[in-house]
Structure 1
């Protein structure tokens, strides 16, 4: 049996083409936009107050994470948003990120409750840096009276 890995943030393999490279598309097959996915309709009364709180927290937290990685915010601003080990991992990633690159911009987030009691939510987000798009995901939980990011994946 091997020891369990305790990595809080995992890096996704970079599979995007080089900037400026054109994908191989045969001339007989024009590019088509991706098909839209049908999502179940929301309840008539709209999202709950807890859902709105979690969505607002997740949006602010993910923006803060991107700004810390880009060195536009000090790493100490992550402390109230996530556990110390996770904040240290994000800070370490910020140290190895190249300076002077284009700023990351959070583009969209999607929040989904993990259960009926709505004390944990999974969040999927996209962000762009110059002309490239990336994904990130996290889990936010209500711990006591505050929301916290308890898991984070950045691609």
Structure 2
């Protein structure tokens, strides 16, 4: 399996042409709390478990890419050669890059039995937003493992 980097079609980040106008009124009430994807009603226990795993695994992958975690710590989370791909991406990002922050994670079951899930996520690195696509499947025992990974 190979992981191919996504071509970045966005223009280089630069200064804004005009600053945004100052807000006229201050919002004094907080928006209603949105539950995490893992805690939404109507999802099976297996789906919630997979969502928790996906969020934790993607955070760990981004930490490894940012050099805040050793890639070897991902061995139990990633299948096959994905560890080598994360290590290669780590060298491409460089040590001086801004920290990646996982923003949103969404899961879709591949089949009605929920034996595997496709994951779509977004993360921010500075002012830019990037995408991650992954697939998670069962690992030995009752655990999950990332079986495919595409980081943009």
Q: TM-score range by the shorter chain?
A: 0.7 to 0.9
Which of 7, 20, 27 is the aligned partner of 1:13? 7
| Structure 1 vs Structure 2 CA RMSD | 1.6
Q: Give the CA deviation at 1:89.
A: 1.4
- 1:78 maps to 74
Query: Following the alignment from structure 2 to structure 1, what is the Cα–Cα distance between the partners of residues 15 and 111?
Result: 43
1:152 equivalenced with 2:146 (yes/no): no
Matches within 5 A, 1:1-155: 6-7=1-2, 9-20=3-14, 46-144=42-140, 145-155=142-152
Q: TM-score, normalised by structure 1?
A: 0.78
Q: Per-residue displacement from partner, 1:57-107 (whole Å, max 9, x unpaired)? A: 000000000000000001111100012411111112212321111100000
Unaligned runs of 5+ in 2: 18-40
Query: Following the alignment from structure 1 to structure 2, what is the Cα–Cα distance between the partners of residues 89 and 124?
Result: 18
Query: Following the alignment from structure 2 to structure 1, what is the Cα–Cα distance between the partners of residues 121 and 4?
Result: 15
Q: TM-score, normalised by structure 2?
A: 0.79
Count of equivalent residues: 128
Which has the higher relative contact order, 1 or 2, with Cα contacts under 8 A spaced 6 or more apart? 1
Query: Following the alignment from structure 2 to structure 1, what is the Cα–Cα distance between the partners of residues 73 and 57?
Result: 10
Query: Following the alignment from structure 1 to structure 2, what is the Cα–Cα distance between the partners of residues 18 and 74?
Result: 30
